Structure 1
Amino acid sequence: MSIETQNNVYIEDEIDLKQLFESLSERKLTIIFVFFITLAFGIAFAYFAQPIYKTSTTIQVKTNDKQLQTDMLQAAIQGMPNTEIDTELGILQSYTLIKEVLNNVVFDIRYFKKENFKTLEVFVDEAPFKVLYSYPENSEFIGRMFSIKPLDTDTFELSTLDSWKDITGLTQNPTYNAKHKYNEKIINEHFSITISKKRDFIDEEYFFSFNDKRSLIENMIKPNLFANIFMKNGSIVEISYEDNLPQRAQIFTNALANAYIQQNININTEEATKKLDFIEKQIVEIKSNLEKSAINVEQFKQKYDLMDIATQTQASMQKLIVYDQELAQIEIEEEQAKRVLELLETGDFSSLSIAPLQISDLLINSLMQALSEAERERRSLLVEFTERHPEVMKVTQNIAKIKNEILSNIKSLYQGIKNRRESIEKIIEKNEAYFKKLPEKEREYIDLMRKFQVNENMYAYLLEKQYEASIIKASKVSNSRIIDPALLPLKPLKPKISLIIAVSAVLGLILGIMIALIRNALDNTIKNYEDITNESKIPVIGSIPFIKGYKDTYHVIHNDPKSVYAESFRAIRTNLQFMATYSSHKTIMISSTIPAEGKTTTSSNLGAILAMSDKKTIILNLDLRLPTLHKVFNLPNDSGMSNFLSGHTQPEEIIQNTEITNLDIISSGPVPPNPSELIMSERMEEIIEFLKQSYDYIILDTPPLGLVTDATILANLADITLLVVKSNYAKKGFVTNFEKTAKAHNIKNTGIILNALLRKKAYSGYGGYGGYGYGYEEKPKRSWFKHLLKI
């Protein structure tokens, strides 16, 4: 690329950038309006938004060490999730655990205060009153907002704020409005409330609502509760909670952590507790039997004055007591096995892990461990997959298989215990044959002693087991611990006011610029030279600046001949000299596409500037439908072009002198019923030829081209045809249509005058005859965008 080409590209880019900022400068009011509206919305949002506080606690979760190591290894090598930790994260966010927390803390009553046009929730300790309440589960006032309005120091008005109506217009939610005293119990079918006052709040506006636990969990707690792994591939988790109230956030987070720890302890001690409860029940029963048997032995000895029995008999009895004790233990085992079997047959396999007495069968213990691991694996998989996932289905089938094997082995174990019992019973029956030879009273005594000894031994045995179970239960502690408790948050997490205002400001500026650019893109009005030259090859012979503050633009040339406005007409006058014509008497037709583009103003001022150059000039008002030229010069319109064209007057009779030397006019005259026909008459050509004898310039002020055919007819009588185009008003298509009309009717020497052009627009480009302007124009002021960016 050559240096010249590069310079051209640079200049074009610079011009395009300047045009961009000029177009934005035009829409600066739009940009400013959108900017401040968006900023106002941002400030309002930040002001009315409920503050959100966040606090967190960290917990060390100790799970199955072996499995945890395996999961961590998989997570590190394969990028798989730490499923053991994920399971605990799910528990921390579970409905059951949160509900347990809400049973220990009171969150279902909420207090609100309206102040400075916004309603904010306040902590229960900050409310000037306290609400004690109860309500049925189906109460229609759950979640409803109550307003409490103090009437004096002892009474208040209680009312509901909200209600809704169905399509019939009937109110469906019940409303409440009544006056009550403090500490008075308010009872009805929907609720029972007692409101006690802590301090006076007559000039303050407070509300409260009571909510059920389910709605609190689903709508307030779960959406704002988060549990995450605190350290990658570690066993520390972080619980964070967001709430409108910092105190409630801290209380709930710590309560949740403590409830999780306590749940862990309860699970770990559940097995020992079940066993201990079973043993204690057996102890109560055996103790009662022992006391009864001791009384029976003592009463029997006293009644029959028996002291001791023979040594051989004593030895036989002790041997039989051993068998009796063994039988008693077997019966306990049989009862336990029967109970477990009944539970398993109903599908309750949780009884295996909390069986009251240990099941010593190695195979069953192995199967129980396999079942526990399979169920843990299934829970871990369900964190990521559904129950129909192939891996989940495979594990589920394996669980069912293990359960069938456990059930089969428990049945075999139960049958084995029954066989042992039957064997011991036969041994006891065989040994009892010896005692049948003894006297009746001695046999009765021996039976009583056997029962007493068996009860005594079983009682001692169960006390020992109770002690062992108590030690086991006491040794059970939580697998987890709280590392850092939740602290009271001092600053809200949201809204970030400075960020919201900054984003609103940037967004407002961007939206304002976008809307300005869109408006510019959709705006098809002519704004500068380029808009005309891009649409047509007809030259622009000059531009007329927009003058702010002038009420009488018709006489600017006459009243202020040294103004920029006057200089623009001098430039047009000069450029007219270059338009090809061999006639010394030039006829100039001035028209527009639609009304209000300034053709009459242009005609009058152009006539004045030509007259000031010592050229005799006359302006003909040929807009017979809407005459205005006579008003410009404060002249009558009793007789004019319509009178002449209709054959009622002569040219000399309708020419009127103006206060400007060398400038005359012919007004339109009374509005005729057939203006187009009059324009087309031969008398039109006659008056033009007549005026050429006396005037250097004849200006024809015609109707708009786009509305009637009059101007098109007159164009053939003119040496020069000029179209007045008003900036920011005329459409770009007007210029195109003018060019097509000129070609279609063979109109020569056409030109365009750009009217009401903002002065800075004149420097956006140049074309035709009027590119450089003429006169004493000042340097245009730089736009505020250019000042800002130093362009």
Structure 2
Amino acid sequence: MAEEDEFEIGDVTGNFDIKGFLFKLLSYWWIFLGSISIGLFIAYYISVRKLPIFEMYSMVEIKDNSNPLFTSNTSLTFNWGGKSNKVTSTIIALQSRTHNERVVKNLEYYIEYLKMGEYQLEDAYGITPFRIQQDTSAYQLQNQLFKVTILNEKEYELSFESELPFTGNFFNYYKEDVETERIDSVSFTKKYRFNESVNTFFFKGKLNKIQLKRPPKKGSEYFFKFTSLHGKVGKYQNIKVEIKDGSSVINLGLTGNNKHRMVDYLNGTVNELSKLMLEEKNLFATRTIQFIDSMLIDRGDELQLVQNELDQFKTERNIFDLDAESELLRSRLTALDNEERQMIRSIDYYENLKEYLVNKTDYSDIPAPSVTGIQESSISSLVQQIVQLSNRRNQLSFTAQEGNLNLIEIDRDIESLKNVLLENIDSSLKLLDKDLKRIGKEVMELEEEVRELPQDQQDLMKIERRYDLSRATYDLFLTKKNEAKLIKAASVSDIKVIDIAKDTGGGKIGPNNQLNYVMAILFGSLIPLLFVFVVVLLDNKINNPQDIEKKSNIPILGVIGKSPIAGNLAVLKKPRGAVAESFRAIRTSLQFTFKKDTNKSSKVIMCTSSISGEGKTFTSINIASVLSLSGKKTVLVGLDLRKPKIFDDFGINNKIGVVNYLIGQNGLDEIKQNSGYDNLDIITSGPIPPNPSELIINDQMDELIAKLKDRYDYVIIDTPPIGLVSDALNIIKYVDTTLYLVRQNYTKKGMLAIINEKYKLGEVKNISFVMNFFEQKAKYGYGYGYGYGYGYGYGYGKYGDGYIARDKKRSFLSKLFRRKKN
């Protein structure tokens, strides 16, 4: 029982066999070859059909270009902030929807120009002999191809076809308005002259002729269509923007199939950006001019009224000039009036500015302090910085959400500047209030002197004072306006173009055909690799002797190869074949498995397995054959009473057999049949009984086995599967050794658990495995014989020449027909 105690059933799953997996991969070489071939074909197909991809660049620098008219004496002062923030805001602007929408509209990139290439429609922008000029008030049909056929230098044919009714979108690209309308099946063809107006239901506009270096051939075909405006804008929002080495230099890049289109867009976006930044730079001056214009209208009307009143007074009173004393008083009062009016304007501005800062959140509309005559540099600088930051925030808000770090930083800067500005305003208001009281006192003193003058002189002085005030205010605003216009005219953009986008003949970056082929090989190998891995992972069948060793401690007696001949008489029909040598090796190994009993010369050998189809009958016949060839008297007994088999191969009948003996109907000599070969007799199972198990366990079986052992050296018993019925277990008590058949790629690993359990419990002893139908191929894990078989194909190769008859190689068709026959 020590052997039983040490016995352990092998792990059902076991460890992953890397070596076997590698051999399995080799066996499926044809799948790898096919998969890689398909992958290479796809890569070739893509490389041939895929259009070339180019990358175009332009380079600009963001600078703070100072206006040459900005001097310390210029009352309109502008502050444009730091460089780093401007670079950041510029990048955001370049990728914003608003900016790219303006560029797409300017270039009309929502119109696609196409031509038929070798395999597909290709972008023909920049190489068509015409350019679309659409009717700005019209609605154009979107996403439908219009065909243009060149007839000659002056004429073309426009055609449009629609086979199925569909709902078309008609879009006005200037109003950005869409209308939908159902369109029935239609076919339209008409001849037009270039630059002639086209007025159809689908398209309204002109095809303006463009002179090309190579005029198109007669019959050349082109296509155009109107696409989604917002779709195109979204595409160009992905423009590549990079800051070069942390400086203020920006690289702009685009990738695509048409270099003309990319070059025009890069240059167009830079021009639009330059225009935008110049407008931003002049925004303060522009709004100042607008404010001054509105003030000039009011002051002009006021001045005209006073002028009319003064002329009327002089005419009616017949007084045209003041006397010397009156003129002196008027000059002094006018100076004080102007100073008082300036202070009042400043106070009004400060009060309005203070209210604006407290109650508003957008500070981009604040007019310049210098417009009202305020010359305090700190106030002007703070106002201009707040306006600039507010404009920058408005730009960022188009692309950045609330909570963005840049927005938070700008808000923090605005709040800080606003607090400082409010403090300065309060301080200035106090000073202005003090000065205003002083002026009021001086005016009162002078007016006392005026009252001593004649009445006509007093009335004339009052009117002239009002005229002087209105005239001074009007001249002030006029001066500020001219100054602002001069500054605006002298402004230059902060965008400096270093490299314009230009097609220099290169720029191709794809497709990467070499990478495509490498990827094809990788993916072509990966798919079968995964397939084989899954096959190996899910494979629960025994493929080689190592699988048996992993699952059981029962020894392996031998390995039998796949028989190259039809039928089960492999040893008798081809005694020098590799299969015959395998059975001879098993015959030799059998001597070490018999029970140690010196009083018994006859040996009983039983062949069984887990299920049918594993080669019990084949092994039984050939073990009996190889023993008989050695000169030993051998009898082959068919004890598979349920499915008799052994009689067909020897050409004998199954009318009388073991069943007849067990029921007492016939004797041993009557059931024994000659095989036709020396030293080999056959006893078939006979008619199929209704109670095979009961017949096997009766006393007649003891008598039969005893008689056979007296007459023969070897008794070979073919039994039913031990995993299906109990017949084989009832016969074990008569046998000296048991051969348990396992068929390659047929017997499942879990089936060994049955015999393992019986072996562990001692129900089966002196048992050995024999692996049947073994093919020495890499797909079964190992490319060598297990050490039990002999001959070509089982581990010896060319060294078996002359000793072992080689099996004739069969064609694929013969193998197929043989498999079908089997």
TM-score, length-normalised on structure 2? Answer: 0.72
Equivalence for 2:11 = none
Aligned equivalent of 1:525: 541
Shift of 1:364: 2.7
The structure in which a higher percent of residues are helix is 1
Tell me what 2:110 maps to: 108
When residues 591 and 299 of structure 1 are mapped into structure 2, their CA distance, relative to the original with a 3 A threshold, is same
Match of 1:708 in 2: 725
Question: Secondary structure, in 3 states, of the residue corresponding to 1:360?
Answer: coil
CA distance in 1, matches of 2:223, 2:798: 59
In the other structure, the counterpart of 2:245 is: 231
Matches of residues 499-648 of structure 1 in structure 2 within 5 Å?
Answer: 499-510=515-526, 512-513=528-529, 515-546=531-562, 550=564, 552-581=566-595, 582=598, 583-648=600-665
Match of 2:488 in 1: 473
Instruction: Determine helix, strand or coil for the equivalent of 2:498.
Output: strand
| 2:326 and 2:457 in contact (8 A); partners too | no
Task: Point out where structure 2 has 5 or more consecutive residues left out of the alignment.
Answer: 1-16, 67-82, 150-155, 168-179, 191-197, 210-215, 800-822
Q: Look up the equivalent residue of 1:364 and give its one-letter code.
A: I
Question: Shift in Å at residue 722 of structure 1?
Answer: 0.3
Q: Tell me: CA distance 1:415–1:503, structure 2 relative to 1, closer, same or farther (3 Å).
A: farther
Answer with 191-200 or 657-666: which moved more: 191-200
Assess, with a 3 A threshold, how the Cα gap between structure 1 residues 436 and 757 changes in structure 2: closer, same or farther: farther
Tell me whether 279-288 or 624-633 shows the greater mean CA deviation.
279-288
- For 2:407 and 2:488, the matched residues in 1 are separated by 39
- 1:374 and 1:307 map into 2 onto residues whose CA distance is 55
- After TM superposition, the structure 1 = structure 2 runs for residues 295-334 of structure 1, keeping only pairs within 5 Å, are none
**Counterpart Cα distance in 1 of 2:422 and 2:718:** 109
Shift of 1:758: 2.2
Paired residues for 1:333-372 under 5 Å: 340=353, 343-347=356-360, 348-352=362-366, 354-355=368-369, 357=371, 359-365=374-380, 367-368=382-383
C-alpha spacing 1:612/1:175, structure 2 compared with 1 (3 Å): farther
The AA in structure 2 aligned to 1:542 is: G
1:211 matched residue in structure 2? 228
Give the alignment of 1:767-786 within 5 angstroms: 771-774=787-790, 779-780=796-797
CA distance in 2, matches of 1:56, 1:664: 95
Render the CA deviation track for 1:216-235: whole Å, top value 9, x for unaligned. 44x4233x234332103x22
Does residue 689 in structure 1 map to residue 706 in structure 2? yes
Query: Per the alignment, in what secondary structure is the counterpart of residue 699 of structure 1?
Result: strand
Deviation by residue 1:507-527 (Cα, 9 ceiling, x = unmatched): 443554455345434434323
Distance 2:135 2:590 in 1: 95
Cα displacement string for residues 141-168 of structure 1 (whole angstroms, at most 9, x for unaligned residues): 99x85466899966533479999xxxxx
What do the CA deviations read for 1:408-463 (whole angstroms, capped 9, x no partner)? 457658867976886787578557646653389xx66x777767766666665555
Map 1:84-99; keep pairs closer than 5 Å: 85-99=87-101
1:168-221 CA-to-partner distances (Å, cap 9, x unmatched) read xxxxx986544253687566xxx98779799999999979563243x544x423
Aligned: 1:652 with 2:659: no
CA distance in 1, matches of 2:46, 2:291: 63
Question: C-alpha distance in 1, partners of 2:467/2:339?
Answer: 14
The match for 1:678 is 695
The answer to whether the 8 A contact 2:542-2:548 is kept is yes
Judged with a 3 Å threshold, the aligned counterparts in structure 2 of structure 1 residues 304 and 194 are, in CA distance, closer, same or farther, namely same
- Backbone CA RMSD of aligned residues: 5.3
Q: Per-residue displacement from partner, 1:12-60 (whole Å, max 9, x unpaired)?
A: xxxx986564343345455556655666776777788887654333322
Paired residues of 2:55 and 2:256 also in contact (CA < 8 A): yes
Checking the alignment, whether the CA contact within 8 Å between 1:618 and 1:699 is kept in structure 2 is yes
* Matching residue's letter, 2:577: S
Deviations 1:460-480 (A, max 9, x none): 555544443233223322333
CA contact (8 A) 1:529 1:765 kept: no
Tell me, yes or no, if structure 1 residue 748 matches structure 2 residue 752: no
C-alpha contact 2:660 2:666 (8 A) present in aligned 1: yes
**Residue 55 in 1 paired to residue 73 in 2?**
no
Name the stretch that deviates more: 418-427 or 82-91: 418-427
Instruction: Tell me the amino acid that sits aligned with residue 273 of structure 1.
Output: T
Which of 163, 170, 188 is the equivalent residue of 1:181? 188
Distance 1:121 1:781 in 2: 66
Which piece of structure 1 moves more, 555-564 or 703-712? 555-564
Measured in 1, the distance between the counterparts of 2:224 and 2:712 equals 90
What is the aligned counterpart of 2:275 among 253, 262, 274? Answer: 262
Residues 181 and 384 of structure 1, relative CA distance in 2, 3 Å threshold: closer
Closer, same or farther in 2 for the Cα pair 1:86/1:453, shift >3 Å?
closer
Q: 1:400 to 1:616 in 2, by over 3 A?
A: farther
Q: Is the contact made by 1:557 and 1:609 (CA closer than 8 Å) also made in structure 2? A: yes
Distance in structure 2 (CA, Å) of the matches to 1:328 and 1:580: 134
CA distance in 2, matches of 1:283, 1:389: 37
The amino acid that maps onto 1:640 is G
Residues 1:758 and 2:779 aligned together: no
Q: Percent identity?
A: 27
Quote the residue 1:169 is aligned against: none
Superposed displacement of residue 483, structure 1: 1.8
The answer on whether the counterparts of 2:165 and 2:184 sit within 8 Å (CA) in structure 1 is: no
SS at match of 2:364: helix
Q: CA shift at 1:712, angstroms?
A: 1.4
- Once the two structures are TM-superposed, the CA of residue 322 in structure 1 deviates from its matched residue by 5.3
Contact 1:702 1:710 in 2 (8 A): yes
The Cα shift of 1:92 comes to: 3.4
Give the length in aligned residue pairs: 726
Partner of 1:618: helix, strand, or coil? strand
The 5 A counterparts of 1:73-92 are: 85-92=87-94
Structure 1 450/744 Cα, relative in aligned 2: closer, same or farther at 3 Å?
Answer: closer
* 1:282/1:521 CA distance change after superposition, 3 Å: closer
For the residues of structure 2 that align with 1:350 and 1:612, how far apart are their CA atoms?
Answer: 114
User: Is 2:790–2:796's contact at 8 Å kept on the other side of the alignment?
Assistant: no
Could you say which residue in structure 2 is the equivalent of 1:69?
Answer: none
Cα pair 1:226 1:240 within 8 Å, conserved: yes
Q: 1:405 aligns with which of 423, 440, 452?
A: 423
Q: 1:26 to 1:242 in 2, by over 3 A?
A: same
Q: Are the equivalent residues in 2 in contact too, given 1:340–1:355 (CA < 8 A)?
A: no
Distance change in 2, residues 1:253/1:428 (3 Å): farther
Check whether the contact 1:621–1:700 (CA below 8 A) recurs between aligned residues. Answer: yes
Where structure 1 has 5 or more consecutive residues not aligned to the other structure, the ranges are 1-15, 66-80, 164-172, 783-791
Give me the TM-score of the superposition, normalised by structure 1: 0.74
**Change beyond 3 A, Cα 1:412–1:552:** farther
SS in 2 for 1:567: helix
Q: Give the 3 Å change call, closer, same or farther, for CA 60–393 of structure 1 in structure 2.
A: closer
SS at match of 2:734: coil
CA pair 388-734 structure 1, distance change in 2 beyond 3 A: same
Contact 2:369 2:380 in 1 (8 A): no
How big is the shift at 1:598? 1.7
Equivalent in the alignment of 2:501: 486
The amino acid that maps onto 1:157 is E
CA distance in 1 between counterparts of 2:315 and 2:393 reads 67
* SS of corresponding position for 1:438: helix
Q: Deviations over 1:323-355 (max 9, x none)?
A: 666666667656655664564454143344745
The answer to whether the 8 A contact 1:616-1:662 is kept is yes
